[in-house]
Amino acid sequence: MTTQSHRTRTITTITGSEAVSSVLHAIVEPGFFSSSAVELAAVLGGVVAIVAACVGVFTVIRGQSFAGEALGDIGAAGGSSAYLVGIGPVWGFVGLSLAASAVMELIGVQRARGRDLATGIVLGAGFGLAALFLYLGTLDGSTTGTIPTILFGSIFAISSSNLPIVLGLGGLAIATIVVLYRPLLLASTSPELAAARGVPVRVIGAAYLFAMAVAVALSALTIGAILSTALLVGPAAAALRLTSRPHRAILLAAAIGLACTWLGLLLAWDSYYWPHRGWPVSSFVVALVLMSYLLADLWDRLRERRRSTH
Amino acid sequence: MFSGFMVNAWIVATLVAVVGGAVGFFIVMRGAAFVAHAIPNGSFAGAAGASLLGVSTLLGLGVFSVGGALGIGLLGRRGRRDVATAMALVFMLGLGALFLSFKVEYADSAFSLLFGEVLGVSTSELWPTVGLTVVCLLALATLWRPLLLASVLPESTQGFSPFRIEVAFLLLVALATTMTVPVVGTTLIFSLMIGPPAAARALTTKPGVAIALSTVIAVAISWGAIALSYNTNWPIGFFVGALSASAYTVARLLQSWAQKV
ipTM of the complex in this document: 0.83
Helix residue ranges, H only, A141-190: 146-152, 162-189
Q: Find the CB nearest B234 among A68, A132, A224.
A: A132
Q: Number of A to B CB contacts under 8 A, please give it.
A: 187
B102: chain A residues, CB-CB within 8 Å: 276
With CA atoms as reference, report the closest residue to A118 among A181, A207, A110, A89: A110
Average pLDDT of the segment spanning A149-173: 83
Contact B90 A134 (CB under 8 A): no
A234: chain B residues, CB-CB within 8 Å: 86-87, 90
* pLDDT at residue A257 in the model: 95
Q: Is the pLDDT of residue A240 over 50?
A: yes
Sketch the domain layout of chain B as residue ranges.
Answer: 6-185
Give how far Cα B157 sits from Cα of A191, A192, B22, B69, B163, Å. Answer: 30, 30, 21, 21, 11
* pLDDT at residue A278 in the model: 74
Give how far Cα B151 sits from Cα of A229, B5, B17, B139, B161, Å. Answer: 28, 40, 22, 16, 13
Give the confidence band of A14 by pLDDT, cuts at 50, 70, 90: very low
Q: Is the pLDDT of residue A113 over 70?
A: no
Average pLDDT of the segment spanning A140-151: 64
Separation of alpha carbons A263 and A281, rounded Å: 9
Predicted TM-score (pTM) of the model is 0.83
Kindly state the percentage of chain B with pLDDT values over 90. Answer: 13
Contact A119, A70 (CB under 8 A): yes
Give the confidence band of B215 by pLDDT, cuts at 50, 70, 90: very high
With CA atoms as reference, report the closest residue to A246 among A189, A174, A308, A206: A189
Give the confidence band of A6 by pLDDT, cuts at 50, 70, 90: very low
B222: chain A residues, CB-CB within 8 Å: none
Separation of alpha carbons A293 and A234, rounded Å: 6
- Is residue A267 within 8 angstroms of chain B, CB to CB? no
For residue A85, the Cα-to-chain-centroid distance in whole angstroms is 25
Q: Find the CB nearest B34 among A116, A122, A230.
A: A116
- Is residue A301 within 8 angstroms of chain B, CB to CB? yes
Report pLDDT digits (tens) over B36-85: 889 988 888 888 888 788 887 788 888 999 999 998 888 887 777 888 89
Q: Find the CB nearest B248 among A121, A135, A233.
A: A121
Separation of alpha carbons B68 and B47, rounded Å: 13
| Type and span of the H or E element at A93 | helix A89-107
Residues in Cβ contact with B185 at an 8 Å cutoff, skipping those fewer than 6 apart: B112, B113, B114, B115, B116, B117, B118, B236, B237
Residue of A nearest to B77 (CA): A297
Give the confidence band of A7 by pLDDT, cuts at 50, 70, 90: very low
Separation of alpha carbons B121 and A138, rounded Å: 21
Q: Is the pLDDT of residue A112 over 70?
A: no
Residue of B nearest to A293 (CA): B87
Half-sphere exposure of residue A71, counting CA atoms within 13 Å on the CB side? 36
- Is residue A68 within 8 angstroms of chain B, CB to CB? yes
The alpha carbon dihedral of A204, A205, A208, A214 has a sign of negative
Contact B250, B195 (CB under 8 A): no
Chain B closest-CA separation from residue A66 CA (Å): 6
CATH class given for the domain over B6-185: mainly alpha
* pLDDT at residue A195 in the model: 86
- Which residue out of B83, B100, B187 would a mutagenesis test of the A interface target, given it has the greatest number of A Cβ atoms within 10 Å? B83
Q: Is the pLDDT of residue A8 over 50?
A: no
* pLDDT at residue A109 in the model: 53
Report pLDDT digits (tens) over B77-107: 777 788 889 999 889 988 888 887 777 555 5
Contact B101 A276 (CB under 8 A): yes
Separation of alpha carbons B1 and A142, rounded Å: 31
Would you call A54 helix, strand, or coil by DSSP?
helix
* pLDDT at residue A1 in the model: 39
**DSSP structural state of residue B79:** S
